[in-house]
Structure 1
Amino acid sequence: IRPWKNVLEDIQQGNNRLKWKDRAPYAYWRGNPTVAPTRKDLLNCNFTHYWKTTTRLYTQDWKVESAQGYRQSKLQDQCTHKYKIYIQGWAWSVSEKYILACNSMVLYVRSAYHDFFSRGMSPLQHYWPIRDNTKCSSLKYAVEWGNNHTQEAQSIGEAGSRYVFQEMKMEFVYDYMFHLLTEYAKLLRFKPTVPPGAVEVSPETMACHQNGTYRKFMMESLVRSPSDSVPCNLPPAFDSNELRDFWDGNDKSIKRVEAWEDEYWRTHPKPNLGS
């Protein structure tokens, strides 16, 4: 995968090639299902025509893809559906930010893990929440809702994408890393020292022994000069009331979606096909 700044530029080109209204009205996912039981469970939504009317799920064999030069896995070529599914892997998945960047309404399968940026997002604003224990019916309802509320679905997709492009620029990521390490250092109860025999590592020494694509991408991501501005100011931490209000708001949005979904299935009984 190319450096983040370059990938964002590629995905933006993909977004420009196919506007949301012209995209396929299905929920799309491509990935490796073997890394987690929840992903294997997702593939059950591929096995009956009833669920497949709203989902398009594809298994990614990375060994085959590597041998073929990654022609079928270019991120900018995967912004072709109105809805994209995010689902965790062993833990959080690096795919989250790429999926969000596509301008598609992200169908976010409930996860036990969070990326460093995901806590700043809210359901129904940046993504649509999907139940983990009834994925197929939850995904089907989400797509049905989106296809009947196209303006709202498009707005959610664009808000998630805008969050990635505006709030996750590399300079902001570096600011976050700076503040994270600074605050972490304040918690240390010892004075760090360089252990005997330690070897200093720099970007140059990491890249110089690499060849081919690895070296190319390392050199593309190399920061060649310090920033000409100071890091952003760290905003004050939420107090307990603010934090509770934020989480309560997110919880209410999720429960609202689940109530809509429950009502839908009460009036649209599904066949006995599993979840």
Structure 2
Amino acid sequence: MLNIFMVFGLSAFKGLVSTTATLIFFVFLVFAALLNWMDIPMIWETSFGQAIFTSPSARIHHEMIEYPLNCSNVHNLTQKCPDDYPSVFEPEESTTATCPDYFRWIHQDLKQWKSSGITEDAIERGIPSTNFRLVIVNGNAYVEKYRPAFQTRDESTIWGILQLLRLYPGRVPDLDLLFFTGDRTRIMKREYKGKGPNAPSPPPVFHYCGEKAALDIVFPDWTFWGWAEVNIMPWEQMLMAIKKGREKIKWEEREPYAFWKGNPRVAADRVDLLKCNLSDKNDWNVRVYKQDWGKEIGHGFQQSKLEDQCTHRYKIYIEGATWSVSEKYILACDSVTLMVKPRYYDFFSRSLVPMRHFWPIHRKNKCRDLKFAVDSGNGHTREFKPTIPPKAQRVCDETAAFLEKGLWTEFMVQSMVKSPSDKLPCTLPPPYESRAIQVSLNAKEKITKLVETWETE
């Protein structure tokens, strides 16, 4: 098994301004809150063409006092935030484990602001590029919205942060945060490169994905708290359903083909994938299905249940407009993931390694590479105190959960943190050194090229 990550000290980050360090701590808490939820099976290589699947052990739940939603004023416009939730974090367990390697990318994503720091001016300059601003002061969250988000991405993201405040009460520092909820990366490096040492620093904007040419700070996507518009449950419930679904058919007894189902209209690469489908002329060992969401909405989502899509030995991950939320669901299905070479990444995918966690597929030769894979498998300068914007309104679980009705509210209740955590978050690993990052990238590229050689031969 390849071991491409190395441990380095924190000396490179001495002198890091306190606001940037605070931001690191915030992102760390977000990742730590999701850590127990990830529980995604990974492919670990044994010998060529063979794979085994591993999954973290089940969590142990302790008896805790729960604090449900206060719905007393839900039918009028006087819904207020209650004051009975604990304000101090008092875990029962004092020991901590080291966080997974993907936590180390937190340092890299915030390295841009190491010398300049994060100023209020940088925040203000970022407003035109964002959907909303979220300020945390003394453990309370306040939101000011600037432009509409697609569907309820903004509300779900805000809900996730509210759950973080409930999970670690009193531990989340005062913060001033900007969020962009669209698909494409927003803060591009080319707009700030080569403008001299006195040039303004880029605004720190949180987003669901990043890429090599962008400075977006990656943040868990909205679907971890449910995507009501397409009937995808919050992650914890969705994962349980997928686990149950994947146990129905053993891997060896599943359809010996590569499966993909989704909306092809959002990306040229997906349209190209359609050419690999079964036809009168070719059988590339691929079975592709178009997802008609309009039809699904009308028929109660009976043909789009993710827990019913673990029926093939291989599942294809291919990006949409940018990265796709489907990645985690595909990895969770206990099938071999065939990943068409991605351009974008989310908060955990940079630590995925080809032939350990997925089989790499070249963009230009999708059909040939997919057939080969299936055949082979079968055989921030200074600290400033955040101020609440004049137009911002305080948000809490009670004000957020009832903004929408129906399935959205149901998902919010399902994904709500009902009591503080009984244990400390894991320990944040040190940042990568530049050389370690390059070694990691070179190793991934070497493995990918090796697979391409196999395919060519």
Whether these two folds match at TM > 0.5 is: yes
Pairing 1:207–2:388 present: no
Determine the C-alpha separation between the residues in 1 that align with 2:384 and 2:364.
45
Q: 1:17 aligns with which of 238, 243, 248?
A: 248
Give the secondary structure class of the aligned counterpart of 1:70.
Answer: coil
**Deviations 1:53-83 (CA, angstroms, capped at 9, x unpaired):** 5010000000100111111111110000000
Report which stretch shifted further, 21-30 or 200-209.
200-209
The alignment yields a C-alpha RMSD, in angstroms, of: 1.6
Q: Residue in 1 aligned with 2:86?
A: none
Identity of matched residues, %: 50
1:198 aligns with 2:392: yes
| Maintained 8 Å contact 2:314/2:338 | yes
2:456 matches 1:225: no
* 2:443 corresponds to 1:249: yes
**TM-aligned CA deviation for residue 209 of structure 1:** 3.2
**2-structure distance, mates of 1:191, 1:130:** 48
Q: Deviations over 1:153-196 (max 9, x none)?
A: xxxxxxxxxxxxxxxxxxxxxxxxxxxxxxxxx67764421111
- Cα deviation for residue 25 of structure 1 reads 0.3
Q: For structure 1, which segment, 8-17 or 222-231, has the greater mean C-alpha deviation from structure 2 after superposition? A: 222-231
Return the TM-score normalized by structure 2: 0.48
TM-score, with structure 1 as normaliser: 0.78
* 1:101 maps onto 2:332 in alignment: yes
Q: Secondary structure of 2:258's match? A: strand
Equivalent position SS for 1:112: coil
AA at the equivalent of 2:265: T
Aligned residue in 2 for 1:260 = 454
> Of residues 343, 356, 372 in structure 2, which corresponds to 1:141?
372
Cα deviations by residue, 1:25-76 (Å, 9 ceiling, x for unpaired): 0000000001111111111112634543501000000010011111111111
Residue 127 (structure 1) shift:
0.3
Q: Secondary structure at the match of 2:395?
A: coil
- CA deviation map 1:98-146 (0-9, x unaligned): 0001111011001110111101110000100000111111111111111
CA shift for structure 1 position 87: 0.3
Q: Which runs of 5+ in 2 are unaligned?
A: 1-231
| Secondary structure of the corresponding residue to residue 26 of structure 1 | strand
2:431 is the alignment partner of 1:237: yes
3-state SS of the aligned residue for 2:315? strand
- In structure 2, give the amino acid aligned to 1:249: A
1:4-23 per-position Cα deviation (integer Å, ceiling 9, x unaligned): 00111101101111110000
- Residue 61 (structure 1) aligns with: 292
Distance in 2 (CA, whole Å) between partners of 1:216 and 1:136 is: 41
Contact between 1:110 and 1:129, CA under 8 Å: does it hold in 2?
yes
Residues 20 and 104 in structure 1, CA contact (< 8 A), matched pair in contact too:
yes
1:88 match:
319
More helix as a share of residues? 1
| 8 Å CA contact retained: 1:51, 1:140 | no
The amino acid across from 1:230 in the alignment is L
Q: Which has the higher contact order (CA 8 A, sep 6+)?
A: 2
Q: Aligned partners of 1:28, 1:239: CA distance in 2, in Å?
A: 38
| Letter aligned with residue 345 of structure 2 | H
